Structure 1
Amino acid sequence: MKKTALPTMLSFAAPGLREQIEALPEGTALIGLSTSGRAIAVDLDAEAPHVLVCTASGGGSTTMLRSLTAQFLHQGAHALVLDPKRISHLWAKALPTVTHRGTIAGIHDALIHLAAELERRLGLDGDLDDVPRLIVAIDAANTTLRQLARYWETFRHKDDPKTSPAIAALVEALWAGRAARVHVIFDARPHTAALAGMSATHELFATVILARFTADTWRRLAPMAGPAPKKQSPPPGRCHVVQQGSVHETQAVLMTDADVVNWLTDPDNHES
């Protein structure tokens, strides 16, 4: 397939891009443009209900979480943003439909509340027309899960379950999220605890976004897509999107914190 020259940065401010994003149907978000000239998007309803983002340091996972979450928020979703670095998603603090948590205690409590919300939604027996989609965006999931496990051990009683209830809530959201309109955008490495032993990982994550990956990471997360692409030094924002066995080399949309806040707080202002 003939490759198309892509810009080294695909900014939200690029001519016509914002309009293209706003024209997408509810539940769909633009990841970016592929080297074949195709728009690459994720559809939370037609495909698996969650998105897995796996990059090495500096690979753009934080930008990806911000861009995808912002697009779903624009469509009326609510979001829970778990930000263990506390400063990676400061944009989330400015928005009324977003809950931002950075401390491990806060993340633990937010996931406990997520379990209750998931149970409430499942109790509606599919009558979710008036229930907003809920996006759970988890940055640096490997670190977060390790810290949650240690946090639980500090006050777990003898008769309490060994597994952190916060981690159990996250796993339940991954498995039952589709039926409750709960969707996880999961920034994790392939060996993360919440994914270990999940034979149905590819049923949960129909969209896998990889950047600066190793051959081992590719074998774990994209075995159906053939051998890993040759090692390269892609420009910033370039990733490989694996969907339904196909791989699309993609330049991802860049939304800054200011882009997101301006767009979501004043959506009719195209001069921001």
Structure 2
Amino acid sequence: MTNTITALPTMLRLTDPGLRERLEAMPASAALIGIGTDGRAIAVDIDAAPHVLVCTGTGGGSTTILRTLTAQFLHQGAHALVLEPKRVSHLWAKDLPTVTHRGNVAGIHDALVGLATELKRRIDLDDDLDGVPRLMVVLDQADTTLRQLTRYWETFRQKDDPKQSPAVAALEDVLHAGREARIHVLYNGRAADGGLSTAAREQFATVILARFTAGTWQRLAPIAGPAPKSSPLPGRAHVIQNGTAYPTQVLLMTDSEAAAWLTATAAGEN
């Protein structure tokens, strides 16, 4: 593994020459995360690695990374369930016809419980998923959201009900079985802080870290070796896949760029 960042681009934007063409050339199951030190594309293919964890320190761009990945999958025909307690981080997607956006804890709870039904429906199709769009489950501030869901469940849980929130249980089921149902999770958080089981946390085959501490690295990427130096530069991250960490300049896409790109996609303009 190399820790040098000298060969990385200083910035990577949707407006860069040739960048949109590069995105169009990606397989339908893949999204560009950024460019590595050798100039090659660092991407995630959700057919092989169905779930992605993003964890950054303050100002590290985790919401931007979620937006950039989500927008690419929407461009390729996926649908998205966007769950965010702030209610303002992903307004770019709120009016898109293929996006369901939920912000309050009751709405997020109901959406995840409904997701359990959708997971079962898709699995019962027995691999006959032609024509069924991929579903991206996007959780911003996920650890906080899961803690809120646990407290919310306690307010009306009956004596004979399971202790674990059914919403959190549904998310864990998707992490375990989502690949065969074409349901994929983009999770912004540490995962260990929100109540997910160890087995569920292990389902994140791609981990994106930026502005991380050594402790965060050891929790989320221990098999990738000692923690490299974290960069404060905008868009700099390490992408961990198959036990290897790749220094990466991530693609940065603004709210307006994502919304305009997807509006043009829906109109058949690109």
Deviation at 1:258, TM superposition (A): 1.0
Distance 1:126 1:194 in 2: 31
Question: Structure 2: which 5+ runs fail to align?
Answer: none
One-letter amino acid of the counterpart of residue 32, structure 1: G
Question: Structure 1: which 5+ runs fail to align?
Answer: none
TM-score scaled to structure 2, two decimals?
0.94
Q: Which residue is 1:9 aligned to?
A: 11
Q: Which residue is 1:249 aligned to?
A: 247
The answer to whether residue 114 in structure 2 is matched with residue 116 in structure 1 is no
Judging changes above 3 Å, is the alpha-carbon distance between structure 1 residues 195 and 152 closer, same or farther for their aligned structure 2 residues? closer
Distance 1:97 1:194 in 2: 29
Deviation at 1:95, TM superposition (A): 0.3
For residue 34 of structure 1, the aligned residue among 28, 33, 36 is: 36
Distance 2:63 2:125 in 1: 33
Q: Which residue is 2:93 aligned to?
A: 92
Distance 1:201 1:149 in 2: 17
The answer to whether residue 226 in structure 2 is matched with residue 227 in structure 1 is yes
Query: What SS does structure 2 have at the residue aligned with 1:105?
Result: helix
Deviation at 1:9, TM superposition (A): 2.3
Deviation at 1:89, TM superposition (A): 0.3
Q: Is the 8 A contact 1:53 1:209 kept in 2?
A: yes
Superposed CA RMSD: 1.6
Distance 1:262 1:125 in 2: 37
Distance 1:163 1:3 in 2: 43
Query: What SS does structure 2 have at the residue aligned with 1:94?
Result: coil
Deviation at 1:62, TM superposition (A): 0.3
Distance 2:169 2:72 in 1: 28
Q: Which residue is 1:60 aligned to?
A: 61
Matches within 5 A, 1:255-266: 255-266=253-264
- Which shifted more, 259-268 or 9-18? 259-268
One-letter amino acid of the counterpart of residue 233, structure 2: P
Deviation at 1:194, TM superposition (A): 4.1
Deviation at 1:190, TM superposition (A): 4.5
Deviation at 1:3, TM superposition (A): 5.6
Matches within 5 A, 1:129-168: 129-168=130-169
Distance 1:76 1:252 in 2: 22
Distance 2:70 2:5 in 1: 29
Q: Is the 8 A contact 1:141 1:192 kept in 2?
A: no
Distance 1:182 1:233 in 2: 32
Deviation at 1:121, TM superposition (A): 0.4
Deviation at 1:234, TM superposition (A): 2.8
